Copies of this chain bind each other. A is one copy, B any other.
Amino acid sequence: MGRVTGDGTVGKALEVLDQVAAFGRPVRFGELLAQSEFPKPTLYRFLQTLTNQQMLAYDPERQTYSPGLRLVRLAHTAWDQSTLAPVARPHLDALSKAVGETVHLAQLDHAQVLYIDKRNANNPVQMYSQAGKVGPAYCTGVGKVMLAFLDEDAVETVIEQQSFHVFTEHTLDSADALRAELSDIRQNGYGFDREEHEPGIICVAMPILTSAGRVLGALSVTSTTSRTNLAGLEAYVPILRETADKITRDAQNWSFPDYQTKETTGI
């Protein structure tokens, strides 16, 4: 009965779009209907509209829907305009060259980590495969360092939304464990992923903050337990900090909020 989506028709249509994307593979009308809150003709019309609008692609051969090319076009602008990526790019390149390990740039989106850019030391390139990918905040290096520097009520809101799904034996599995970890991170100024998300995978992560202390994003250097250990990764902290500082500075000169106050903007 009550409102389900908010934001009227547009919100509902976008919910359908998310639903299609969530399948992660081309999906049939019936499959969507089975788990849709919308009645048949309503869902049908949304799919038609979204397909018309190229937000979905329809394969008539297989009668399946997938996210459409218009999203790729739009995301190009979004990535270039609403993320740290363009500002961070040269610094990420330099960091990658210096450390010779996989490097990530991430931002917080809702209560999740959104990967924005990546440098893969060994087989270079790859990437869109990673950019746009989302991951859990409570068990990744970048996620935890971003949470650590949110203000107190924001962090609680985000903590409530974590699933605390246990991926490995090291995964933090409760809000309290996470709070303790965040407190440590605030002390140190950086954090680790101690095989919390994937066995054998470890990383050091550094937040990117504005001069006012607001969280912009995070950087990390990732490796494996077979190649190094946490102490080894900790050696990257200075260069990570420098890189983060440079990104902060460039973001300031570019156009990020929280920077140019009314006074400096004025005239």
Contact = CB atoms under 8 A, between A and B. Distances in A.
A228 interface: no
Interface residues of A, number: 71
B71 A74 contact: yes
A18 B71 CA distance: 11
Interface stretch (A123-131, A147-155, A186-194): A123-131
A124 B127 contact: no
Contacts of A14: 53, 55
Given A116-B72, A125-B93, A81 B66 contact: yes
Contacts of A68: 78, 82
B86 A129 contact: yes
Contacts of A81: 24-26, 66-67
Contacts of A144: none
A263 interface: no
A8 B8 CA distance: 12
Contacts of A70: 109
Interface stretch (A57-65, A200-208, A245-253): A57-65
B61 A83 contact: no
A170 interface: no
A77 B82 contact: no
A78 B82 contact: no
A71 B67 contact: no
A257 interface: yes
Interface string A80-97: 111101100100010010
A49 B8 contact: yes
A69 to B, nearest CB: 5
Return the 3 tightest CB-CB contacts between A and B, nearest first: A76-B132, A75-B75, A67-B78
8 contacts: A10-B10, A10-B46, A61-B260, A69-B109, A70-B109, A71-B71, A72-B114, A74-B132
